[in-house]
Chains A and B, each alone.
Chain A
Amino acid sequence: MTRQFKEILIKNLFALLAFVAVLVLGLIVVFLFREGLPLFRQISPGRFLFGTAWYPTYDPPEYGIWPLIVGSFTVTFFSCLIAVPLGVLSAVYISEIAPARLKNVLKSVIELLAGLPSVVLGFFGMVVIAPWLQETFDLPTGLNIVNASLMLAIMAIPTITSISEDALYAVPREFKEASYALGATKFETIARVIIPTALSGISTAVILGMARALGETMVVLMAAGGAAAVPESLFDSVRPMTASIAAEMGEAPFRSDHYHALFATGMVLFGITLAFNLIADAISNRFKETGSGTL
């Protein structure tokens, strides 16, 4: 009886600890709202989200985060324009074409790239890419959308490649063999059989890569330039949501409107990335491979 009691106790202890992850997620919501919601006593959510002026330190201040939202999505979009083809094609190479030895080397490369601290990439963007852009294109500043997108792409590639590679690897061997047996070349097998089968996994990879770029802070804080205006060209500076939070939180007086506005921006950011993750989760569950018999 005591042994059974002990077993039950241990099981419940583990269950309790396991739900810490969910608890933390809940607490994030609670504390973001606790510090963010008071803003909406001052201005309406509509004016906050779609207001085009972000002048938190002016008198009277303006708290419209539309330029920040546009900034976030702009750099995310352009970074994915680079990262998605490179990441997915590399995954195809690693999973289907590279010889075994090279495969392991490339996997380590991807892992090390994933390990590069974001502040280091931000720094690289500032001291290497920015002067180069400025000179080559004769710009007032090299800290702009192009710079931030390039650096963000480097951050998103490991996510996209490793998840895509898992998805490609999971394609049943029989599919490939059937395709070869019908006389298809390796390329035709990859393009018509392997990639379509792995497409849900690759979509998940792309969405998670986008979420990574959207949530990245240091790179955009250091390399995007920081202008809180809706950009008109690729060489304009932007101030994505993450950069705004990181740059201004230190200066915003405790529990001022500005402080609450930054937490409210965090709420928006949290909501968007949560949606991305839920979509990725739904896609990977909806099309889950259950065996070689199902397609």
Chain B
Amino acid sequence: MNAAAPSTSLKWRYFRQGLFFGVVRLSAFLITATLLLILAYIFMNGFRAISWDFLTLPPTDAMTRGGIMPAIVGTLYLTVGAIAVALPLGVASAIYLTEYARQGLAIRILRIGVNCLAGVPSVVFGLFGLGLFVVFLKFGSSILAGALTLGILILPTIIGASEEALKAVPQTFREASLALGVSKWRTISRIVLPNALPGILTGSILGIGRAAGETAPIMFTAATFFTAALPRSVFDEVMALPYHIYVLATAGTQIDETRPLQYGTVLVLVALVLGIDLVAILIRSVMRKKKRW
């Protein structure tokens, strides 16, 4: 390059830098603004629909009035079920991956498997849940089938987060324990796991948020259009918040009249999911401050 060319003058180089910094700042700002805009819009339109009755009553008058209580309860059941499936499996897989497994072909396959599972589209999980749980195992469209499908959907998230948490526990902790003659399993259960717990918790809570907001996997496995009654067994269908939004916004005959109900439901779902995510973010930041190593 020619040193005398204007393109390499110091002034030009700093001008270029300023331009670039402006562009990257703008993109970060745009993303933040998008989030705030969406949240503000949902809040402004949704909060008028929120009332005690809205949260505690079932829909009435062919879903044009009333509340969303069965949908809230349904989402709660599905989410709790999903985490009950995914947490033990996910943590166990992460323990095997970080604590026991030696690098080799098996681990390579395992890791590719987990990565690919994380990339499977949620609607394909829905088809899978329909094929395996609803049809083959004859659970029917039910809480059980939906919770299992959602559990498998969030499994990679839990595995990933737990692995990170386990890896962050210093190797010296394990060595100190093993040097005292403690067996491997006791080292894991008494030393490694307690130290990794906050990280595992954070990841699991994020997984819960994900499960609560998913629609496609429960469309054919658990969710129903309308039921005023609360489920009595795990083989019952349920209403769920995300599916309720979809149904009200697209399939009703009075889409415009139920708009306030739609906004209200969206607000409840967003508050629920982002509230869950915020708890996870807070736990993590507190835990980072408390970290002693």
User: A119 and B242: CB pair below 8 A?
Assistant: yes
Interface residue A246 (Cβ < 8 Å from any Cβ of B): yes
In whole angstroms, what is the CA distance A269 to B120 when docked?
Answer: 9
Residues of B within 8 A of A (CB): 13-14, 16-17, 20-21, 23-25, 27-28, 30-32, 34-35, 38, 41-42, 88-89, 92-93, 95-97, 99-101, 109-110, 112-128, 130-132, 135-136, 152, 155-156, 159, 183-185, 206, 209-210, 212-216, 219-220, 242-243, 245-246, 249-250, 259, 262, 266, 269-270, 273-274, 276-278, 281, 285
Binding site for B on A (CB under 8 A): 3, 6-7, 10-11, 13-15, 17-22, 24-25, 27-28, 31-32, 34-35, 85-86, 89-90, 92-94, 97-98, 104, 106, 108-113, 115-124, 126-128, 154, 157, 161, 185-188, 190-191, 208, 211, 214-218, 221-222, 242, 245-246, 249-250, 262-263, 266, 269-270, 273-274, 276-278, 280-281
Q: Which residue of B lies closest to A113 (CB)?
A: B35
In contact, B121 and A128 (Cβ under 8 angstroms) = no
9 closest A-B pairs (Cβ-Cβ)? Answer: A215-B121, A117-B213, A31-B131, A187-B17, A22-B113, A17-B92, A277-B119, A18-B96, A14-B96
Partner of B17, one of A17, A186, A218: A186
Give the distance in Å from the alpha carbon of A77 to the alpha carbon of B59 in the complex.
Answer: 40
B interface secondary structure, majority? helix
Residues in A with CB closer than 8 Å to B32 are: 106, 109
Interchain CA distance A208-B118 in the complex, whole Å: 10
Q: Is the pair B113, A21 in contact by a Cβ cutoff of 8 Å? A: yes
A124-B38, A273-B119 given as contacts; is B127 within 8 A of A191 (CB)? no
Are A18 and B110 in contact, CB atoms less than 8 angstroms apart?
yes
For B42, B112, B135, B259, which residue has the most chain A Cβ atoms within 10 angstroms?
Answer: B112
Check A111 against B277 for contact (C-beta < 8 Å).
yes
Please tell me which one of the listed residues B20, B96, B206, B219 contacts residue A250 in the complex, with CB atoms under 8 A apart: B219
CB distance A222 to B249 under 8 Å?
yes
**What is the distance, in angstroms, from A186's C-beta to the closest C-beta of chain B?**
6
Assess the B216–A246 pair: CB atoms within 8 A. yes
B215 with A21: CB separation less than 8 A: no
Which residue of A31, A109, A127 is within 8 Å of B31 (Cβ)? A109
